[in-house]
Amino acid sequence: MHIPFVWLTFIAFAFMFAIFGVASPKIQEKFSLSFDYRSRSLMTAREREFFTLLRKALPGVHVFPQVAMSAVIDSDSKGYAVRNRFDRKVFDYVVCSESCDLLYVIELDDRSHLSESARKRDAVKNEICALAGVQLLRYPSVKVDCATLQADFEKARLLKERVVSATA
């Protein structure tokens, strides 16, 4: 009676060895660390230019570039379907107070945002931000003067203060 158990155990080990020990090159490649990895720049030249402008226009606040949406937005919904709508998306910039409280996010739009697919992606980002209560400011160009950035910051800060005091 122990023989079938021994054979089943042997077959199970043989099966595991076949999958993990002598896997096909395609499967081995999938789990290999020998891919051609390389570092890349965090921002494009245009994004760096705008980042420098933001830091100049908004001293005393923190501006973080290339922040995952999932770092500032979450969902109480069960399952991954809702989170999958935003977990691989990135904000160009996140603007926070001195104490690192989120004030608003910025998207730097350019010609690449004119396509139909880009507009759909932007609409999803707009919708998610609105539902989460996150202010999203969009700038069509890096050619924004400091006074405009400062005025937009003040409007966003005042709106945030009103929202916080209304919920307190």
- pLDDT per residue over 19-73, tens digit each? 555 555 666 566 666 678 889 888 888 999 999 999 999 999 999 999 999 899 8
Beta bridge partner(s), residue 129: none
β-strand partners of 90: 68
CB neighbour list of residue 104: distance below 8 Å, 6 or more residues apart: 95, 134, 135, 136, 137, 156, 160
Average pLDDT over residues 154-164: 86
